[in-house]
Chains A and B, each alone.
Chain A
Amino acid sequence: MTAGTFAPAPGRAPMRTIIGTQIRMELLLTARRGEAVVLAMGVPLLVLLGAGLTHATNLPTGDRLGFVVPGVLALTVMSTAFTGQAITTGYERSYGVLKRLGASPLTRPGLLLAKTAAVLVQIVLQVLFLGLVGVLVGWRPQFGDILPAAGVTVLAAAGYSGLALLLASVLKPETTTGAATLIYVLMLSVGGIMFAAPDLGPVGWFLLPLAAHAQALRDTLTDGASIPLSIWLALATWAVVWPAVAARKFRWE
Chain B
Amino acid sequence: MPGIEEVAGVNGRWRGPHGSEGDHPRAAPGGAPARPPYRGRRRIGWAELMVGGDVAAVEVRDVVVRYGDTTAVRGVSLHAPRGRVLALLGHNGAGKTSLLQVCEGFREPDAGTVRILGMDPIAEHDALMPRLGIMLQSGGVYPWAAAGEILRLFASFAATPLDPDMLLDRLGLRKVEKTRFRRLSGGEQQRLSLAVALVGRPELVFLDEPTAGMDTEARHTTWQLIEELRADGVSVLLTTHLLDEAERLADDVVIMRSGEVAATGTPAELTAAAGIDLLEVRANPGLDLAALKTRHEVAETSPGEYAITGALDTRALADVLAWFAAADAHVTAVSSRRRTLEDVYLSLTSQNPVGAAQ
Binding site for B on A (CB under 8 A): 1, 3-13, 17-18, 21-22, 25, 28-29, 32-33, 91-92, 95-97, 99-100, 103-107, 253
Contact = CB atoms under 8 A, between A and B. Distances in A.
B131 A10 contact: yes
Interface residues of B, number: 45
Given A10-B202, A96-B138, A3 B40 contact: yes
Contact of B136 (A33, A96, A105): A96
Contact of A104 (B33, B129, B162): B129
Contacts of A32: 144
Contacts of A3: 39-41, 232
Given A8-B35, A13-B158, A105-B158, A96 B201 contact: no
Contacts of A4: 39-41, 232
Contact of B153 (A5, A12, A21): A21
A92 to B, nearest CB: 7
B141 A10 contact: no
Interface in B152-168: 153-154, 156-160, 162, 166
Contacts of A253: 106
Nearest to A107: B126
B36 interface: yes
Interface string B182-213: 00000000000000001011110000000000
Interface in B225-279: 228-229, 232-234
What is the predominant secondary structure among interface residues of chain B facing chain A? loop
B105 interface: yes
Given A12-B130, A96-B140, A107-B129, 12 more contacts: A3-B39, A4-B41, A6-B229, A7-B36, A7-B232, A10-B131, A11-B160, A25-B145, A100-B141, A104-B129, A104-B134, A105-B157
B290 to A, nearest CB: 60
B56 to A, nearest CB: 15
Nearest to B139: A96
Contacts of B105: 103
